[in-house]
A and B are shown apart, each in its own frame.
Chain A
Amino acid sequence: MGERKVAVITGGGSGLGQAVALRLAKEGVSIVVVDISEKAGQKTAHLVEEIGANAIFVKADVSKAEEVKSYVDKTIEEFGTIDMFYNNAGISGPGVKFVENTIEQIDMVLGINLNGALYGLKYVLEVMLANGGGRIVNTSSTAGVVGQATVGTYSATKHAMVGITKTLAAEYAAQGIVVNAIAPGTTETPMVRAYKEKNPDAFVNATEPIPQKRLGQPEEVAELVTFLLTGNAPYINGVVVPIDGGFTAI
């Protein structure tokens, strides 16, 4: 890669966001880690620098439009452009049947997963359109493609990622924007891994409905995201790629 490309990653402090940050760093991409957790975000930025790529951490709560605007502004101040956007910060919500949610719980999941993702797209797209293009990956989920009990609000926000992805592809493809979504199944992020080690029995049930009889690895998701953000096939556009061992095909 000639001049250094710049990627913004929300929720970059942990899990999938961190895995993608480290994988893109290996391609020499400069990384802007956005996270609500200062400690987690700083850690990822540090790991990226250890690989030899540039990194900055920007603390922001993605559910607040002005903080989203400010992570975009800080990125421009530091690196001058945004070539790639991994729109990923999200929370799963309380894990109860829908009626048992409080209004506050519903609003919180919507605020981070839906509003946060849309605010990010609005401000990042303004930059990318002015600069003549860019690549975006939105994080949906298997719960954004099929129904799964106890994740109602989450599922609504993840289905929304599919809708916005297709719409943006229709709107901005001719202006050099490539936008896709991924739909991961349950992935063994460090948090899930720790839980699994403590509760091995619970995980037999988790892998049973997956045709490949295993969970995904964050490194696999990072390969897919890197392929979509940097690969030589920009004709892949407006697509939702499941990475779930076949779970949503059933």
Chain B
Amino acid sequence: MKRFEEKIVLITGGGSGLGRAAAVQVAKEGAKLALVDLSKEGMEETKQAILAAAPEAEVITIEANCANESEVEAYVKQTVEQFGKIDSFFNNAGVEGKQNLTEEYGAEEFDRVVNINLNGVFYGMQHVLKVMKEQGYGSVVNTASVGGIRGVGNQSGYAASKHGVVGLTRNSGIEYGQFGVSIKAIAPGAIMTPMVEGSLRQLGGDNWEEAGKEFVSVNPMKRFGKPEEVGYLVAFLLSDQADFINATVIPIDGGQSYKY
């Protein structure tokens, strides 16, 4: 069964990690893709991964900064010009930010992280939902985090922005349900992507793999999640099969957020 046959899927942060995993999954199921990222090389690698898994797939790449509203408006416009519609939107680009105490975090870092993770997600919804409302259908998955539903510590800007993503998801899901659009968020725990590797390097330097083992020792499943698992969840949530799941946040964290 190909759930994404003839479907157009737009993915931000498509140049790495979770965005790439979701892109490969929906491409295998027939989707045509627009990838958005700051990193041109990242998107090129994703495109190769997509073509390896789904040689027939049609992919465009758009270099854009999600924290800049006019660039967001432009990537949405370019996607619609290219494909004529947007069936599904994985609103996913984000950064981790510094790890330190709240008093040390600093206004500049806070603004930077919130601008990308929260403003960027809002801009994306604002411009994509206009298109979907006109179409009368569409699905959106926003990437929150366990840090968006629980207190994790040492990540003020990240926590604020990811809790904000959950709030936006509930708010807009309630507004757009009547227009045939469903909006949900995912809350990944520790998924082994370049972002998490970077974060472990902040903790453990060259011994980051040891730091990783320590990190997941408190997870009920005692392992990191795989990007492919998140890609599989995102594909389900973006598909017609999950249309009635709306305005909610689905954790994918091995049970971590429920253990404490």
Contacts and interface: CB of A to CB of B under 8 A. Distances in A.
Interface stretch (A68-76, A119-127, A205-213): A205-213
Interface string B164-192: 00000010011111100010000001010
Given A212-B182, A213-B178, A236 B248 contact: no
A93 B176 CA distance: 34
A227 B182 CA distance: 18
Residue among A170, A220, A227, A233 having the largest count of chain B Cβ atoms under 10 Å: A233
A249 B244 CA distance: 13
B246 A212 contact: yes
Contacts of B189: 235
Contacts of A213: 177-178
Nearest to B187: A239
B71 interface: no
A235 B252 contact: yes
A170 B258 contact: yes
A174 B222 contact: yes
Interface stretch (B38-46, B100-108, B116-124, B227-235): B227-235
Interface string A207-240: 0001111101100100110010001111111110
Contact of B229 (A223, A235, A238, A239): A235
B37 interface: no
Given A211-B246, A212-B178, A227-B241, A233 B229 contact: yes
B29 to A, nearest CB: 12
Interface in B200-234: 219-222, 225-226, 228-230, 232-233
Given A212-B177, A235-B229, A237-B220, A220 B253 contact: no
Contacts of B241: 220, 223-224, 227
B245 interface: yes
Contact of B221 (A173, A212, A248): A173
B228 A238 contact: no
A220 B243 contact: yes
Given A212-B178, A245-B177, A232 B248 contact: no
B167 to A, nearest CB: 10
B233 A249 contact: no
Contact of A236 (B220, B245, B252, B259): B252
A216 B250 contact: no
- Chain B: number of interface residues, binned into ranges: 35 or more
A249 B228 contact: no
Contacts of B246: 211-212, 244-246, 249
Contacts of B232: 231-233
A173 B233 contact: no
A216 B245 CA distance: 9
B13 interface: no
B255 A249 contact: no
Contacts of B230: 233, 235
Contacts of A224: 241-242, 245
Contacts of A210: 177
Given A232-B228, A235-B252, A223 B259 contact: no
Contact of B251 (A211, A239, A243): A239
Contact of A237 (B242, B245, B255): B255
B259 A249 contact: no
B26 interface: no
Contact of A170 (B177, B225, B228, B255): B255
Contacts of A239: 250-252, 258
A219 to B, nearest CB: 9
A217 B242 CA distance: 11
A242 B248 contact: yes
A40 interface: no
Given A170-B255, A227-B241, A235 B225 contact: yes
Contacts of B247: 211, 246, 249
Nearest to A221: B244
A250 interface: yes
A153 B250 CA distance: 27
Contacts of A236: 229, 233, 250-252
Contacts of B243: 212, 220
A108 interface: no
Q: Which 3 A-B pairs have the closest CB atoms?
A: A211-B177, A173-B220, A246-B247
Interface of B: 170, 173-178, 182, 189, 191, 219-222, 225-226, 228-230, 232-233, 236, 241-248, 250-255, 257-259
16 contacts: A212-B244, A213-B177, A220-B243, A220-B244, A223-B241, A223-B242, A233-B229, A233-B232, A237-B221, A238-B257, A238-B259, A245-B246, A246-B173, A246-B246, A249-B173, A250-B174
